[in-house]
Amino acid sequence: DAKTTQPPSMDCAEGRAANLPCNHSTISGNEYVYWYRQIHSQGPQYIIHGLKNNETNEMASLIITEDRKSSTLILPHATLRDTAVYYCIVRVLGSNYQLIWGAGTKLIIKP
C-alpha cells in the first residue's frame, strides 16, 4: 500500500471549514483513499473514502486531485467535538481488510 504524508498538527476556528491535506504521491490506480479520526482515548471512527471522484457524506467531503497524488478532507463547519487525530490511509481493495496507520494530523478546533 502507498505511503501517506500529513502535517503533524493544524488549528481551526470553531465554525470554520477545516481542510486537512494528505499527500499520497505513490498511489496506484487501484488504491482507495480512506479517512479515519480518533478522538482522544477512543477507538478510531470511519469518516469517508474515495477512489478518484470527490465524495461527500454527512460528516465530511473528500477532494481528490485529478492526478490522485493528494487529497483534502473538508469538515465544513468544525465544532469543538471535531478535535481529534485524523488519519489518511491508502489501501488496495482485496480480501485483506488491514489498515496501515501513519502518524496522522492532530486537529485542534479553537473556540
Partner 1 sequence: GAVVSQHPSRVICKSGTSVKIECRSLDFQATTMFWYRQFPKQSLMLMATSNEGSKATYEQGVEKDKFLINHASLTLSTLTVTSAHPEDSSFYICSAPTSVHEQFFGPGTRLTVL
Find the shortest distance in angstroms from Cβ 100 to partner 1: 8
Does 34 engage in binding with partner 1 (CB under 8 A)? yes
Q: Taking the CB of residue 68, how many other CB atoms lie within 10 A of it?
A: 19
Write 29-32 long-range contacts (CB < 8 A, 24+).
Answer: 29/68, 30/92, 30/93, 31/1, 31/2, 31/90, 31/91, 31/92, 32/90, 32/91, 32/92, 32/93
With beta carbons less than 8 A apart as the criterion, state whether 73 and 56 touch: no
Q: Which of 23, 63, 69, 102 binds partner 1 (CB under 8 A)?
A: 102
Q: Is 92 in the site for partner 1 (CB under 8 A)?
A: no
The grid cell for 70 is: 493528494
Q: Determine which residue in the list 9, 30, 79, 101 makes contact with partner 1, applying CB under 8 A.
A: 101
CB 5 within 8 A of CB 22: yes
The one among 49, 61, 69, 72 contacting partner 1 by CB under 8 A:
49
Name the residue nearer to partner 1 (CB basis): 97 or 111.
Answer: 97
Q: Which of 25, 32, 61, 79 binds partner 1 (CB under 8 A)?
A: 32
> Would you tell me which residues interact with partner 1 (CB under 8 A)?
32, 34, 38, 41-46, 49, 87, 93, 97-104
